[in-house]
Structure 1
Amino acid sequence: MERLTTRGPPDHPHQEEASACWRLTVRVLEARNLGWTDLLSEADPYVTLELPTVPGTKFKTKTITNSCHPVWNETFSFLIQSQVKNVLELNVYDEDSVTEDDACFKVLYDISEVLPGQLLRKTFSLRPQGQEELDVEFKLEKTSDSPENLITNNVLVARELSCLDVCLDRAGSTATVTDQDKLELELVLKGSYEDTQTSVLGPASAFRFHYMAAQEGKLSARVRSSSSNSWSSDESAGHLTVPLRSLAVGKEVTFHVPTTNTPGVRLQLKTEGCPKELDVHLGFDLCAEEKAFLSRRKQVVAKALKHVLQLDRDLQEDEVPIVGIMATGGGARAMTALYGHLLALQKLGLLDCVTYISGISGSTWTMAHLYGDPEWSQKDLEGPIKYAREHLVKSKMEVFSPERLASYHQELELRAQQGYPTTFVDLWALVLESMLHNQVMDQKLSEQKTALEQGQNPLPLYLSLNVKENNLETFDFKEWVEFSPYEVGFLKYGAFVPSELFGSEFFMGQLMRKLPESRICFLEGIWSNILSLNLLDVWYDLLSSEDTRKQHLKDKIRNLEESPASLKTSSWLEASWLQPGTALAKAFKGLLTGRPFHQHSCNFLRGLQLHRNYYSQKDFSTWAGVQRSPAELPVGQVDLTGTNSPYSLFNMTYKEEDFDHLLQLSDYNVRNSQGAILQALRTAMKHRALGARPRAAQN
């Protein structure tokens, strides 16, 4: 269930660079053989164009009525950054005056093959499935604008931000707070972090927007009286539009917002650059705190290795291997088994040889409980084990008493007031806390740093799955998220935030809104992962055999292994046509792939963009798994999930003898493998010593 392994810290910090923007011109020419028809006429097609890397910008062609061969010849322009992955999305719709417009198909096109100064014409075809074709022309030209400052780790790119401050011009505005009808102001800046802000105007009215410095958006403002039920449909009568490009940095400009039947409003606008420093750790290197911990922990590990391996000398720091315990999930059985494994390692004197402990699901419940005591690994584990045993064998009926349910509701309301999105997983987290502790545990992940100050314990890494909310199986898309007392983030992308800031709101790598740090019980709900499944995952798991699941996993891994090579070609996503199908088909697919109980937190990667060559960065990976050898497979053939097994995944109440049996079995398995563990440590030390020797000596 656990495996000792070695882990070394990579050293790839982010880099800063200045990069010019380019002007991408897209001309939508025509389409042919559009075979869709309405009930009374042929299709009324139009095309939309959107680049996710140019937020807030979306274009639409005119609608050609009753035509299966529409000709548009319309030109659109995007200001793009060449250092990021730019994938243009072209959607063809059939306009409908009665119902919602039908999405007929879409094309995703990687524009990396568009060469500067050369006109490129592309024909996107649905063949061999059909005969529909769409002709589009592309042209790329360098702009004369000053270069944009980028921060990148060659996988993700943080682009330069600007701040726009908007405040009421009290001297120039005739509107006052004493007016009988209060004035309500709406400001919209598409593509910015704030997007839309609405407020009743007063003497202290002030707004701030954060947006990309290279953005070609516009600020829209309109005013209405509080007695009015709707905004004026006549934009010229009460609408102000200010292009961002017209605002000089650091210069305050005043604009008048035209209104009807209300006093005039004047706004002062001023744009400034945002701080360059990122609040997101963008890089594949370890944070400074973890590096310092490793140095402290190696001193503890060196002494332990000298004792268990009976060495005749002290080890130097560069000779000490990095050893980790990887604990699997599985609810209460995983929690119980990890207690047994750690107990055995402690008895053998091997626990102090470990640098990291990682876990998922039930094993994180063990870890979170232990790290509440800063000296846990230096004390007898019988105490925590007795505590876990008492709460696991007790009745769980009190957990659902009216008093407890009321307390859950009260805490979830408080959490919502703090700014957190509340989900079913948050309720599950509170129920789980009652089951495992029978009380509120006021602990936070960042507070576990005290258990690492002297290197007295291994560093805990709690793991969770990040999955797509809809439309994909878990096997098709899943990413590991690491939680430690120092940082939370994606090793895949090389992006981390301080643990106390997880759940806060970020944009383009900068902190926008800080929320109070969650109690660790809410993180345990996230780490459980079971509630992120969709019906398709459950259906597949129930109906497929173990061999079928293994083959399915191998196929998925093989596809992932082939993907990076295909991404290097210019034809990636060159003509990807996606047809939505009927409303019934979409609803049925949504039922199967939706995740009704999943937990969601604010995405600290919001705004960050993929580097154009992210797939060639050697530290970027779309998967992480090591295949077991045939000799290892029989070891895991233990019936823990059978219909008569007391260790089923959803069982949270054990008999005393069942808890003791699993604990003793886990203890025995580790102690019985003492020889193999010691040999693995010797091998790791040998490799470490070879790596530390001078190159001339190795030759």
Structure 2
Amino acid sequence: MNTISPSTFYKEEASNYELTVRVIKAQNIHGGDVVTKPDCYVCLWLPTSLADKKRTKTIWNNPNPVWDEIFHFRLHSQVKNILDLSIHDEDVGTSDDHLFTVSYDVGNVPLNEKVVENFSLDKEFQTELQVELNLVVIPETQKKVTTNGVLVCPEMVTLQVEVPKKRKEPFKKKTELALSVQGSFEDSHRILLQSDSSSELDSHDTAVFHFSRDLGTEMTASLCRVYSPFDVTFSNDTENDSSNQTIVPLNLISPMENEISVQIPAMEGKPLDVQIKLNECPEELDVRLGFDLCDKEKIFLQKRQRLVADALKKVLGLEEDLVGEEIPVVAVMATGGGARAMASLSSHLCGLQNIGLLDCVTYIASASGSTWTTSKLYEDPNWSQNNMSEAINNVKKHMTKNKLNTFSMSRLKYYRKELKQAAKDGQKSSFTDLWGLILESMLYNKKNEFKLSDQQAALDNGQNPLPIYLAINVKQDKISTLDFKEWCEFTPYEVGLLKYGAFIRTEDFWSEFYMGRLMKKHPEPRICFLQGLWGNVFSLNLVDTWYLTTQTDTFWDTWIKDKIKDIDEGSIRVRRESAHTKTSLITPDGTLSGILKGVLTNRPIDGEQHNFLRGLYLHKDYYQQPQFTPWKDSNLDIFPNLLTPLADNLCLVDAGYFINASFPPLLRQARKVDVIISFDYTLDTPLQSVEQTCQYCTTQGIGFPKVSLSEEERKTHKECYVFNDKDNDNCPTVLHFPLVNDTFQKFKEPGVLRSPEEMSDGDVDVTGAFSPYFLTNFTYSERDFDRLMKLTQYNLANNRELILDALRTAVQRRKARSRSCDVPQTQEQKKT
């Protein structure tokens, strides 16, 4: 296995294989219909070879069907190739019953040796499926491919199809050339061969397709009649008539060859001659593959270090300057919490400035409602160098204003106009975008043209901490967030899916990618659309709501979830050194459960974004890479055919659904964070996020301090908790600040008691259902807003010494580590 360092992509030697699959027979099949015998067929899906599925013929009325059909697939040696074999019971008049799916790792097949597998589908009824597989190397296909150990970028080629103008002679009836290349970026093109010269279609006589050279791709071409120049309609005699289609296997054509002439049969008259040619594409990628930081962030860190070193020297009273690796990395982590989080984070950042600690911070990570604060602050390139009281006043103005105008007729017309423009710009407009526009109305007084990449101006000289915004990628329907979620981080420099090590420029978010290349550039979204995405409290499905309410997934696991079983059981041997994925049997639930699952998992008001991993493959050893960090309960991570690279779209939602925190980006090894100041804005469970993060990190092997709390600590919350691991230098110290009202009730400032007349000012309700700061409240009274500001700043100032102690310890650790690196090693130490 190739284990890589978390630096960047590299090149690997690769070949192509040909896989032959012979579907032989099945026995003792029990169909979905208890009255009649099953009418079975088998579907074969190998998406790393072909974009579409293949299937056998149907064997009618037979529980022991014999197919004996052969299928061929072209494979890439460095890609994780998983063959899904699904058995279906065909029904007339209703949808077919899906009985079983076997998920089989082709890496299990030895080279140049036929293997017969008998897959046990149901031991009770002795149900089996028998398949023969044979894998051979295709000669002279050795090449180098780009990979980061988790993703593989295949070789891209373009197919150019041209209709020579001299051959665009008139047909008796209006005709068009329909072209399709399944698995290509474009999928299909059409060229109108006879129309008015003013027709837009008539001016295009060349079609271009982008696709993977490694796929067993075919071009399908046919001539079809057109009945209306405005509404292209295929005649009944050509629409499904494969005899009128010309199929060209593209893997037989070399990019080195000259143009090839292909004849397309016509229904009447002469056939049409077209010229086709394959061209190689440049190797440069627009998707950055790697687990290291991007160059722009590295440059920012160098500039920020100087300011942080000066601030630490001042606040800690150090005699010597801190240099290089001696300078610790301090980060702020903020949870979600709607408008409460937005207001409180503003107050906390102001509080850090007041006690001289804001310039010590390198990163600010936020999720959900807290993202609304940072995205607003960074419109000012020097916000952290200015007095933050002005920023607080700005938040107060919008938090206390009347928001009825948000739903006025003029605003509704504005929303409609902006959504139309977003759709024109290439975005799949949804309720998430509408929610972003509503937030814009509540947080701003006018249309805000600011974009996330514009925040780079606030980082040019390292004058502010680097903001990081967190979301999670989920499946839009059929699969619960309990089973699948992936961290996605946004910075002014990049947007990336962390576990795949794949990033794009922030300016290119909303654009379309394929095989690591930027294919269609769309305008970058305005910041309001991202605010709606990061803080969309309405994109829950019913299963998410159940989980958040009960913190249990028993109902989902017991009644709704597909049953997945390992059927290797020693009979299916690991025959090659390639990383082996266990053979799994997936048994879908019945029709009623399927309907219930659809109701429970559907996200009717979620949005979709273009998937910048589209066209990339998972490496054959992806699951063994330490950088690939799935959730422990994400069963899909062992099913590469269902993971994000094979999805057409992303479904990015609020990160607060399961861990209402923004820790993950700060725990990336490359960021080397030493101290995390954690601000938790949850009302009822202010310690849950840090406990869940600890559990997640323990499972994944990520450095995070142990969070162990007594029952008393859970009941009576402190103003600040310090979690650390003194024996682990790779583990950050976490100072966790819940939103609590403790000593503030008696002290208006640290060490200054309240007078009897001032006692009412300390009565701030941040618990219970009747708190004025409940999640869906977006309008506070001035008194409630001011009290929340004073409470949060007081809690921070009252625990200043705890923060300073953590910073001193971080400096000492850094210095000790730096000195140990400078000490020459003995020969024995070098051997060790």
Of 295, 314, 319, the match for 2:326: 319
Q: Tell me the equivalent position of 1:651.
A: 777
Measure, in 1, the Cα distance between the counterparts of 2:242 and 2:520: 35
* Shift of residue 377, structure 1, vs aligned partner: 0.1
* Shift, 1:90, TM fit: 0.5
CA distance in 1 between partners of 2:123 and 2:268 (Å)? 61
**What TM-score, normalized by structure 1, do the two folds share?**
0.91
Match of 2:248 among 242, 248, 263: 242
Give the SS at the match of 1:389. helix
Question: In the TM superposition, what are the counterparts of 1:143-182 in structure 2 within 5 Å?
Answer: 143-175=138-170, 181-182=173-174
> Is 1:343–2:343 an aligned residue pair?
no
Q: 1:594 aligns to what?
A: 602
Cα deviation for residue 418 of structure 1 reads: 1.5
Matched with 2:121 is 126
Farther off after superposition, 18-27 or 39-48: 39-48
Out of 662, 666, 669, the position equivalent to 2:792 is 666
Q: Residues 500 and 335 (structure 1 numbering): CA distance in 2 closer, same or farther, change over 3 Å?
A: same
Matched, 1:295 2:363: no
Report what 1:189 is aligned to: 181
Query: Residue 506 of structure 1 aligns to which amino acid in structure 2?
Result: F
Aligned mates of 1:70, 1:273 — CA distance in 2: 45
Residue aligning to 1:500? 507
Give the secondary-structure state (helix, strand or coil) at the position aligned to 2:610: coil
One-letter amino acid matched to 1:271: L
Contact conserved, 1:20 with 1:81, CA < 8 A, in 2? Answer: yes
Deviation of 1:669 after TM superposition, in Å, equals: 1.5
CA–CA separation in structure 2 for the residues paired with 1:696 and 1:354: 27
2:230 matches 1:230: no
- 1:681-692 to structure 2, matched below 5 A, reads 681-692=807-818
Q: Which deviates the most, 326-335 or 533-542?
A: 533-542
Q: Which amino acid aligns with 1:193?
A: F
Say if 1:549 and 1:345 are closer, same or farther in 2 by CA, change over 3 A.
farther
Q: Which amino acid aligns with 1:415?
A: A
Deviation at 1:76, TM superposition (A): 1.5
Letter in 2 for 1:338: L
Q: 2:84 aligns with which of 82, 89, 102?
A: 89
Please point out which of 703, 709, 730 is paired with 1:630.
709
Native 8 Å contact 1:504 1:511 kept in 2: yes
Paired-residue identity, %: 44
Q: How far 1:615 moved relative to its partner?
A: 1.9
Contact 2:28 2:125 in 1 (8 A): no
Give the drift of 1:416.
0.8
Report SS of the residue matched to 1:626: helix
Q: Which residue of 1 aligns with 2:10?
A: 15
Name the CA distance, whole Å, in 2 between partners of 1:199 and 1:428.
40
CA distance change for structure 1 residues 382 and 637 in 2, over 3 Å: closer, same or farther? closer
- Distance in 2 separating the partners of 1:163 and 1:660: 62
CA distance in 2, matches of 1:236, 1:26: 24
User: How far does residue 241 in structure 1 lie from its aligned partner after superposition?
Assistant: 1.7
Is contact 2:303-2:462 (8 Å) kept?
Answer: yes
Distance 1:410 1:695, change over 3 A: closer
Q: Residue 380 of structure 1 is aligned with which of 383, 387, 392?
A: 387
Q: 1:203 Cα shift?
A: 4.5
Separation of aligned partners in 2, 1:156 and 1:420: 26
- Unpaired runs of 5+ in structure 2? 194-201, 558-573, 632-663, 665-692, 696-706, 719-737, 741-764, 826-832
* 2:647 aligned with 1:579: no
- Any conservation in 1 of the 2:107–2:580 contact (CA below 8 Å)? no
Residue equivalent to 2:646: none
1:98 equivalent in structure 2: 93
The equivalent residue for 2:190 is: 198
Matches within 5 A, 1:376-455: 376-455=383-462
Distance 1:130 1:362, change over 3 A: farther
Q: Distance in 2 between matches of 1:376 and 1:262?
A: 73
State the SS of the aligned residue for 1:677: helix
Q: Verify the 8 A CA contact 1:120 1:137 in the aligned structure 2.
A: yes
Aligned residue number for residue 558 of structure 1: none
Q: CA deviation at 1:248?
A: 2.8
> Which whole-Å deviations, capped at 9, do the CAs of 1:50-84 have from their partners, x for residues lacking one?
11211325321122121101112222221111211
Secondary structure of residue in 2 paired with 1:186? strand
Q: Aligned equivalents of 2:47 and 2:242: distance in 1?
A: 30
1:113 aligned partner: 108
1:548-587 to 2 correspondences below 5 Å: 572-582=581-591, 584-587=592-595
Secondary structure class of the residue paired with 2:165: coil
Aligned partners of 1:21 and 1:148 also within 8 Å: no
Per-residue displacement from partner, 1:636-684 (whole Å, max 9, x unpaired)? 4857463211111111111111111222111112111211111111121
1:169 Cα deviation from its structure 2 partner = 1.0
Residue correspondence of structure 1 range 38-117 to structure 2 within 5 A:
38=33, 41-117=36-112
Q: The residue matched to 2:456 in structure 1 has which SS? A: helix
Q: Which amino acid aligns with 2:130?
A: D
Distance of 1:549 and 1:108 partners within structure 2: 25
- The 8 Å contact of residues 538 and 605 in structure 2, kept in 1 or not, is answered as yes
Aligned equivalents of 1:333 and 1:129: distance in 2?
Answer: 56
Deviation at 1:120, TM superposition (A): 2.2
2:584 maps to a residue whose letter is: A
Distance (whole Å) between structure 2 residues aligned to residue 339 and residue 74 of structure 1: 66
Sort the Cα spacing of 1:216 and 1:647 in 2 relative to 1 into closer, same or farther, 3 A: same
Letter in 2 for 1:602: H
The question of whether the paired residues in 2 share the 8 Å contact of 1:474 and 1:533 is answered with no
Taking the aligned partners of 2:484 and 2:813, their CA distance within structure 1 comes to 35
Decide whether aligned partners of structure 1 residues 237 and 477 sit closer, same or farther in structure 2, where only a CA change above 3 A counts. closer
**Count of residue correspondences:** 670
Name stretches of at least 5 consecutive residues in structure 1 with no aligned partner.
1-9, 554-566
Find the counterpart in structure 2 of residue 527 from structure 1: 534
Report if aligned partners of 1:174, 1:263 keep a CA contact under 8 Å in 2: no
**Counterpart of 1:663 in structure 2: which amino acid?**
M
Is this contact kept in 1: 2:213–2:251, CA < 8 A?
Answer: no
User: C-alpha displacement at 1:167, in angstroms?
Assistant: 1.8
Deviation at residue 405 of structure 1 after TM alignment: 0.2
Correspondence for 2:645: none
| Compared CA separation, residues 647 and 180, structure 1 to 2 (3 A) | farther
CA distance in 1, matches of 2:450, 2:479: 35
User: Given the superposition, is the C-alpha separation of residues 698 and 234 from structure 1 closer, same or farther in structure 2, using an over 3 Å criterion?
Assistant: closer
Partner of 2:819: 693
SS at match of 1:541: helix
Return the offset for 1:385.
Answer: 0.8
CA contact (8 A) 2:21 2:134 kept: yes
8 A contact 1:105–1:580 mirrored in 2: no
What residue identity is the alignment partner of 2:394?
Y
Q: Shift of residue 230 of structure 1?
A: 1.9
Counterpart in the other structure of 1:216: 216
Structure 1 residue matching 2:80: 3-state secondary structure: coil
Q: Does 1:617 align with 2:651?
A: no
Would the alpha carbon gap of residues 276 and 360 (structure 1) be closer, same or farther in structure 2, given more than 3 Å must change? same
> What is the Cα deviation at residue 97 of structure 1?
3.3
Superimposed CA distance per residue, residues 408-452 of structure 1 (whole angstroms, 9 cap, x where no aligned partner): 001101111111100001001000110111211110011110000
Classify the secondary structure of the residue corresponding to 1:492. Answer: helix
Paired amino acid for 1:143: I
Q: Look up the equivalent residue of 1:610 and give its one-letter code.
A: L
